[in-house]
Amino acid sequence: MIKRFQEDKEKVEKEDDSLGQEQIVFLGADSEPKLRIIGIMREVGEDTAADVIYGLHSLAATAKKMDLKEPENEDDEPEIVETIEPIELIINTPGGSADDMFAIYDTMREIQREVPVHTKGIGKVMSAGVPLLAAGTKGQRRIGENCRVMLHSVIGGHVGPMHQLDNEMEEIRNIQTQYINILARETNMTERYLRNLMKKKVNVYLSAQEAVDLGIADEII
């Protein structure tokens, strides 16, 4: 293995001597990427949901690693130890579609049956982004000191016949209930507390410390 690594290194150096030493990519077994990070750095929509869901499943499929643990006694056989590498989800979003947020959230819950998903909020975590930050593995939900957190009631609109408006309003209320139920499940806030909070203000802004106090995150980075 060492011989192969050295041969690959020499091959790369010979093929392009113009590259700076820090730019040379060494091939071989040790070149496998170590980053297991997914980022939400835009509005939560169909494209974002597709990218995140695909990324979660892809990283979950490679989360389990088998390593040999050397025995304490020379006469004993090496022990095979299974380790699971977590996934990190970094969130910086102004919010977006409730339906696409639900799709990501349900996928996170499915993945976490076997693989931890660590969440980190930076910049801004608003609206649809808040449940996703809170849905990370408990004890592994971090937030930037200067991150702005905002939650609010579901926003919707529709133009049409009166009976259709009633139907659309009922659906908006159902989405609002789902949103509140998720936050109540993942944080320290109760459903009653959340409903009263959202009635008082259109947009409820929280500091990083308030987000930790309310159970949206576990620690400030």
| CA dist list (Å): 141 to 89, 93, 114, 134, 218 | 10, 16, 17, 7, 5
Structure tokens at 136: 């990370």
Token pair 């009166």 is found at 162
d(CA 221, CA 214) in angstroms, rounded, equals 17
Q: Which residue has the tokens 């040790």?
A: 30
3-state helix, strand, coil in the chain (%, to 5): 45, 20, 35
Return the beta strands (E) in the chain as ranges: 37-40, 64-69, 79-84, 87-93, 117-126, 141-143, 148-152, 203-206, 219-220
Query: Which pair of structure tokens corresponds to residue 144?
Result: 């930037």
CA angle 199, 204, 208 (to 5 degrees): 145
97 catalytic per annotation: no
**Centroid of chain to Cα 44:** 12
- Which residue is catalytic, options 127, 158, 163, 207? 127
Q: Is 158 an annotated catalytic residue? A: no
Task: Output DSSP code: residue 96.
Answer: B
Contact 106, 140 (CB under 8 A): no
Set 152, 153, 158, 163: catalytic member: 152
The neighbour count for residue 153, using CB atoms within 10 Å, is 21
Active site (catalytic) residues = 127, 152
